[in-house]
Chain A
Amino acid sequence: MTATSAADGVELVLSSREGMERVAMACAAAFAKLAGLPAARIEDLKTAVAESASNAVAHGNRDRQNARVRVSFRLRYGAVEAAVTDEGDGIDREVPEFDIEQIVEGKQAPGGIGLFLMRRLADILSFERLEGGGHTVRIIVKGC
């Protein structure tokens, strides 16, 4: 794991291992606190980043031990922008939208909850396949 800071942010390079999402989450909390985000929004950012980092390890990097997950944070117009990049190709299949009614009726196993939460906790969520390989999820959480 390495960390670097730039004039307006910080970047972590994490090994692709289960549990590393907690490191990303702790960094998100510290950065968002410095940025002055309210407590509730810090929690939203922490969860969105942790879920994205978990997905990066499990699905993006497919648990490859030598792969890396890059997580960066920067301030943009009073909001915190996090970017989580893995070495995969992005979502190559349609992820079924989580639907509690389908779960309650026993028609669907609980899945897709991480993505569901990310979409609702972040103010802006975007996905980008990178030229040359890799995939980035951008999460923006505003202060108010």
Chain B
Amino acid sequence: MPQDKIEISVEILEKTAVLYLRGDLTFAAEPRLTEAYARAHGEGVRCVLFSFKENAYIDSGGIAALLQVLVKVRERGQKAALANVSAHNRKMLNMVGVTRLADIYDTPERALADIDNWK
């Protein structure tokens, strides 16, 4: 059955990459997520912000794909943040422990304001 394939655009703001995730975050998103992060990393960024579509569908496969990328971010000494995460998705991500690897913000603007303080 056709699923809502994820589209990911990358915006570079100085030393921060914002990855805009539009669509479902399932394990099928893994190649695009990995590719988008590789592109961001290639720009020499220090921070990566994953901005979700409001009320995005995220399943366990999507969380696994996200974790694989977040582990790479950490290994490379970069910082990660997530924004626009629904209350339920935040609950799941907290349960899983994603906050060990990334801070979660209500909006991309708040994330970017905080990221400015990291530098």
Contacts and interface: CB of A to CB of B under 8 A. Distances in A.
Majority secondary structure, B binding face: helix
A103 B87 contact: no
A51 B59 contact: yes
B88 A19 contact: no
A21 to B, nearest CB: 8
Interface size class of B (residues with CB under 8 A): 20 to 34
Contact of A104 (B2, B3, B61, B71): B71
Interface string B96-108: 1110110000000
B14 interface: no
B95 A111 contact: no
A61 interface: no
Contacts of A127: none
Interface size class of A (residues with CB under 8 A): 20 to 34
A104 B87 contact: no
Interface in A76-114: 98, 100-101, 103-104, 106, 109-111, 113-114
A18 B96 contact: no
A21 B59 CA distance: 11
A22 B61 CA distance: 14
B96 A104 contact: no
B74 interface: yes
Contacts of B64: 110-111, 113
Interface string A6-22: 00000000000111111
Contact of B1 (A18, A47, A51, A98): A18
Nearest to A44: B88
Interface string B56-88: 010111011001100100110000000000011
Interface of B: 1-3, 57, 59-61, 63-64, 67-68, 71, 74-75, 87-88, 91-92, 95-98, 100-101
Interface of A: 17-22, 40, 43-44, 47, 50-51, 54, 98, 100-101, 103-104, 106, 109-111, 113-114, 116-117, 120-121
Chain A to chain B: the 8 pairs with minimum beta-carbon distance, closest first: A19-B1, A100-B97, A114-B60, A110-B64, A113-B60, A43-B88, A110-B67, A120-B95
Given A106-B75, A114-B60, 7 more contacts: A40-B87, A47-B59, A50-B59, A100-B97, A106-B71, A109-B68, A117-B60
